[in-house]
Structure 1
Amino acid sequence: MTSDARPAPTAPELLASLTDSVRDRMPQTIAELSQLVRIPSVSWDGFDPAHVRASAEATAELLRGLKVFDRVDIVQAPVAAGSDTLGQPAVLARREPRAGRPTVLLYAHHDVQPPGDETLWDSPAFEPTVRGDRLYGRGAADDKAGVIAHVAAIRTLVETVGDPDVGIVVFIEGEEEFGSRSFRALLDAHRDTLAADVIVVADSDNWTIDTPSLTVGLRGNAAFTLTISTLAHASHSGMLGGAAPDAMMAAVRLLASLHNDDGSVAVEGMRAHEQEVPDDDEERFRHEAGLLPGVTPIGRGRILSRLWAQPAITVTGIDAPSVQNASNTLLPSVSVKISARVAPGQSAAEAFEALRAHLEAHAPFGAHLEFGHVDLGNPFLVDTSGWGADEARQAMRDAWGAEPQLTGVGGSIPFIADLAEAFPDAHVLVTGVEDPDTRAHSPNESLHLGVLRRAILTEAVLLARLNNRSQ
């Protein structure tokens, strides 16, 4: 719940100055974003880490160019305790507060998802292209637009109010798309530098291109690989098929057990979260999801409840012979990757154990199961009762001229729970630069330039308001 007292709107003169600065700087902002998009900073194993390093260096130079930080560093940390393997480079900058003003931490990430099938892109994934009012390219929205929103908002603040008193920390992560493996170690190593009163995570979306969102709920994740084995070796499917259980048949039957007939999760122990959601708009959902004619939504209850407050299980990959290379063979083993989303209110560890128990109990024909590469991230519920959320919502009203929508998100940002645990008194605000047509992680990812402008203005207004606020 939010407080009943709404903060006063931003002074008209200040708002006008901020608005003019953001508008006049948009060509520079788009050029800087395009510079970052051209760097293929995929943080996954198997991709050149030099590109992630180049992206970190370019981000650090943008922050140094603002000339407001006491220091700007590129930092790395081990992916696990005692490991010699370092995570991808992050960028960390800090400016100390003055005159009793609060400190705000601005988070985004500069790494991106792989481009996927290049033939599905209408323009090259790493060549930023403007078509109409959208900028296309991998990372144009998720989340290099978040990086640029921070840079542009700080620049606007300085141009408008001069040397600010508000403390500012910028943390631009380099491996969010690869599970934030070193995030906890970075947090432990730089806890004093990262300490803040308000934390802004610019990695979510907006309700529409005209209505902003403050994200108040995020599902967690439990991802892992599963290998199903039934035979010691491959065999001729004609000679032994019909008696020897092949791994593909066992895998298909086992994976089918994860869902009820209506597509809802059938795993005992994976729980839903009771929360209010806006009214359904099935046509909007069909458009955003790209449902083909005649295809129906899955699950039960309100659609937004299914997306925000219920668990989901997806098989995202399978290792098996391609159709082109398939022989008449009984497969001895099949490996799959399972990605489960965990509803708020349940830990990712508990959900994974429920999944493990279900799979072991339903393995057909005595199939052997092997679990690996387990990656867990907890869900998060944002507390909107404090002054930080009130200030953010007022900044959105000022910048967008519309009442912000409080929303949940089906995706996961597990490190937010780590931040909240490390800084329990901080106000956590999850904002974003995406919109329903962004298609993050997909071919033809894009950013609506009007949304970018309003997102920058929102953050600039918030910084200006915090610059006038005593703790």
Structure 2
Amino acid sequence: MELRERIAGLMPRAKNDLAELVALKSVADARQFPPEECDKAAQWVLDAFAEVGFTGLRLVETADGSKAVYGERPGPPGAKTVLLYAHYDVQPPLDEDAWNTPVWQLTERDGRWYGRGTADCKGNILMHLTALRAMLASGDDVPVTLKLIVEGSEEQGTGGLEDFVPKNADLLRADTILVCDTGGAAVGRPALTISLRGLANVIVSVEALSSEMHSGMFGGAAPDALAALIHMLSTLRDDRGNTTIQGLDNTQTWSGAPYPTEQFAADAHVLNGESLLGDGTVSDMLWARPALTVLGIDCPPVVGSAAAIQPHAKARLNLRVPPGMDAGHAQDALIAHLKAVAPWGVHVTVEREASGQPFLARTDGPAYTALREAMHEAYGVESTSLGQGGSIPLCNVFHDTFPDAEIILMGVEEPLTLMHAPNESVHPDEIANMALTEALFLQRYGTA
């Protein structure tokens, strides 16, 4: 196939370009990284898409101060419009000592390309570019009108683009939106993400005493804030690990592709001898049921701790909310549960943090049909439908703003990418195969 051969020939360029992007420390948090790094990444994206025929390219500042790259590439008169999405900002490196390769230097190792952002989401930017470069290499035009939006604060969750989209609906309006920030079931196993869990975060604080008190003199009768918090947190899961928040259904099931238990255990780096959580299948637990995670606890560390009863303690909780469940209701239920199970009359306050609704894609439109056919041709195997535990609030904003548009979630990420963790990587075959998928899709969708 000519397109496949062109993409294979373009992969060395894709690697060099991705290396340039990875070298830019584009973490959208000025407290940790210079904002100039994000500015450089945004300009790199703008310049790269100018080379594949996008016009009207500009940096648009969003409400959170981040800059998004916007541009258009007009197609033939009457052509369908496809909006391409990605983000150039990345997660912080976390513990740099845990990395086996330099964080900000693309390094090839065992057939994978390592470095922060190689998969999430700079690899998807290269997927877009490689697809378009391959289509244009022989002088062929793209049979659709393309629009581009590449944001700069997705990982921070500060909502810059979510605010921008409804205010600029005519600018971004499209028949199909390719949200390229997910990926396949495994290397060589393509998938479309059809559901996203929402989230409902809270910070719970417990006050029991006005001061620390000596555990020898007062322990046993005086209420202990840390013990109270531990008791409260223990009620959020049962002995099997099911999330058990009063008022939330934890029996829903997943009807899409299964996630094999052995594969999940390996992907999740589960230690030998441990059991997976919950009464449902892995897919049920990940994509169909609420899931509570304790993100952090404020209490004395072991080193330096004293023989004292703790007067106060605090925890940050993350509740993932599946499709079919309202995030606001789930957050209300979590708050009510925490207050109801607090022991000994301790004082409990709960602060609401971020919340976002789950998303369920429509999969019966012509774009989905064309995309699945393109994936099959590119990979040689049928694609599957997956859910994702992560939240992309922008998808609901797109849906509310453009209710008739098909929203398709795809990309180069797969379980071994370790996105958001040390040693993030991408498999170059996923960039190549997804670039081919995108090119074939644009051809078919534009001429259907």
TM-score range, shorter chain: over 0.9
What is the aligned-residue identity percentage?
A: 36
Stretches of structure 2 lacking an aligned partner (at least 5 in a row): none
Is 1:43–2:43 an aligned residue pair?
no
Is 1:223–2:221 an aligned residue pair?
no
1:457 aligned counterpart, secondary structure: helix
Is 1:453–2:438 an aligned residue pair?
no
Report how far residue 366 of structure 1 moved. 2.0
Corresponding residue number in structure 2 for 1:266: 244
Residue type of the partner of 1:324? Answer: V
Is 1:177–2:155 an aligned residue pair?
yes
Report how far residue 359 of structure 1 moved. 0.8
Corresponding residue number in structure 1 for 2:81: 103
Q: Does the CA contact (< 8 Å) of 1:94 and 1:193 recur in 2? A: no
Q: Does the CA contact (< 8 Å) of 1:108 and 1:172 recur in 2? A: yes
Corresponding residue number in structure 1 for 2:171: 193
Corresponding residue number in structure 2 for 1:128: 106
Residue type of the partner of 2:16? Answer: A
Corresponding residue number in structure 1 for 2:135: 157
1:338 aligned counterpart, secondary structure: strand
Corresponding residue number in structure 1 for 2:97: 119
Report how far residue 453 of structure 1 moved. 0.9
Deviation digits for residues 167-193 of structure 1 (CA, Å, limit 9, x no counterpart): 111111111111142223211332111
Q: Give the alignment partner of residue 429 of structure 1, picking from 397, 408, 423.
A: 408
Corresponding residue number in structure 2 for 1:87: 65
**Number of aligned residue pairs:** 446
Q: Give the alignment partner of residue 10 of structure 2, picking from 12, 20, 25.
A: 25
- Structure 1: distance between partners of 2:306 and 2:206: 19
2:286 aligned counterpart, secondary structure: helix
Residue type of the partner of 1:41? Answer: S
Q: Does the CA contact (< 8 Å) of 2:257 and 2:385 recur in 1? A: no
Q: Does the CA contact (< 8 Å) of 1:157 and 1:463 recur in 2? A: no
Q: Give the alignment partner of residue 121 of structure 2, picking from 137, 143, 146.
A: 143
- Structure 2: distance between partners of 1:373 and 1:127: 38
Report how far residue 280 of structure 1 moved. 5.4
Q: Does the CA contact (< 8 Å) of 1:393 and 1:404 recur in 2? A: yes
Report how far residue 234 of structure 1 moved. 2.3
- Structure 1: distance between partners of 2:68 and 2:194: 26
Residue type of the partner of 1:142? Answer: D
Corresponding residue number in structure 2 for 1:9: none
TM-score normalised according to structure 1 size: 0.91
- Structure 1: distance between partners of 2:9 and 2:223: 67
Deviation digits for residues 40-80 of structure 1 (CA, Å, limit 9, x no counterpart): 222246323332222222222222232x12211111222xx
Q: Does the CA contact (< 8 Å) of 1:378 and 1:414 recur in 2? A: yes
Report how far residue 411 of structure 1 moved. 1.8
2:155 aligned counterpart, secondary structure: helix
- Structure 2: distance between partners of 1:269 and 1:35: 50
Q: Which moved more, 1:359-368 or 1:394-403?
A: 359-368
Corresponding residue number in structure 2 for 1:52: 38
TM-score normalised according to structure 2 size: 0.95
Residue type of the partner of 1:53? Answer: D
Residue type of the partner of 1:329? Answer: A
Q: Does the CA contact (< 8 Å) of 1:204 and 1:215 recur in 2? A: yes
Residue type of the partner of 2:86? Answer: A
2:344 aligned counterpart, secondary structure: helix
2:70 aligned counterpart, secondary structure: strand
Q: Which moved more, 1:34-43 or 1:271-280?
A: 271-280
Residue type of the partner of 1:306? Answer: M
Report how far residue 436 of structure 1 moved. 2.2
Report how far residue 32 of structure 1 moved. 0.9
